[in-house]
Structure 1
Amino acid sequence: MEVIINYNGQALSVEVTVEVYEYLDRADHKTENLAHEQRRHWDGREFDEYIAFTEGVGVYSETPEEYLCRMETLHDLMAVLDTCTEAQRRRFLLYALDRLSLAEIGVLCSCSKVAVYQSVEAVRKKFINFFENRLNE
């Protein structure tokens, strides 16, 4: 997809992925909605942080560069998880994301607490190796 960017008063045509184009399009719509809201509440009495927050423009707004970095990191992390067995991945995600205990995961997966621990540790070691290799690059 092609987007036009104004840089130092000069219009530049840049080729971007569909993902970046959609992100920029959503940002334009949010900015436009906020401008409409500001015009409706020109005296400032009704324009508060709640309106700004509901329009998606809070104190912090992720930049396109931060979004792309986050998506690249997520892609890399998912690649590490793809190297794991299905059981390791399932047990690790239950432990890391759902905050279940090793015993609870053992009951859910019909295995021992030790097997869950070994799976979680194996995935953890893969992540450690991934981050160590990334730092050395």
Structure 2
Amino acid sequence: MGITIRKHRRNLSYEDAATLDELWAIAKQFDRSFYREWKDHWDERGYDEYIVVTEGRLPYCESPEQYVCRMETRREILAVLALCTEKQRERFLLHALYDLSYEEVGKICGCSDVAVLKSIKAVRKKFLKFFG
């Protein structure tokens, strides 16, 4: 009797084994080899460092140049924020970092949404003046 089992796009036939137990042993061995192959060539594109990085399998590690650029940008942003008043800085950061609306920032800070709008515009002007 010929029994064929299709597993992972491959055929396993009963004719390859003498008993049903032997067929299951072959199937288990096939699963192990398939898993090893899948680990090496997942996503049917083969192992590629680009795939590993883009799929988030490796931890991100920035280059020294990227680190220096990030730190310079951070210092420049902090320098502009240092020129602002405490209320302007607080309102701007709530709006920019947490994506809160003017009304939500106004409720948190205890002021109107117009006051929040004016504070954010003042901070933006300072950024444009500093970077412009």
TM-score per shorter chain, which class?
Answer: 0.5 to 0.7
TM-score w.r.t. the length of structure 1 is: 0.56
**For 1:83-131, what per-residue CA distance to the aligned partner results, in whole angstroms no more than 9, with x for missing partners?**
1111100100111111111111111111111111110001000000111
Could you tell me how far apart the structure 2 residues matched to 1:46 and 1:90 are? 49
Tell me if 1:54 matches 2:47.
Answer: no
Match of 1:26 in 2: none
Could you tell me how far apart the structure 2 residues matched to 1:100 and 1:109 are? 12
Task: Name the count of aligned residue pairs.
Answer: 87
- 1:1-137 equivalences under 5 Å are 45-47=38-40, 49=51, 53-56=56-59, 62-132=62-132
Query: Runs in 1 of length 4+ with deviation above 4 angstroms?
Result: 47-52
SS of the residue 1:62 aligns to: coil
What's the Cα RMSD here?
A: 2.3
Which structure is higher in RCO with an 8 Å CA cutoff and minimum separation 6? 1
Could you tell me how far apart the structure 2 residues matched to 1:54 and 1:74 are? 28
Give the unaligned 5+ runs of structure 1: 1-42, 133-137
> Which has the higher Rg, Structure 1 or Structure 2?
2
What is the Cα deviation at residue 53 of structure 1?
3.2
SS of the residue 2:121 aligns to: helix
Could you tell me how far apart the structure 2 residues matched to 1:103 and 1:84 are? 21
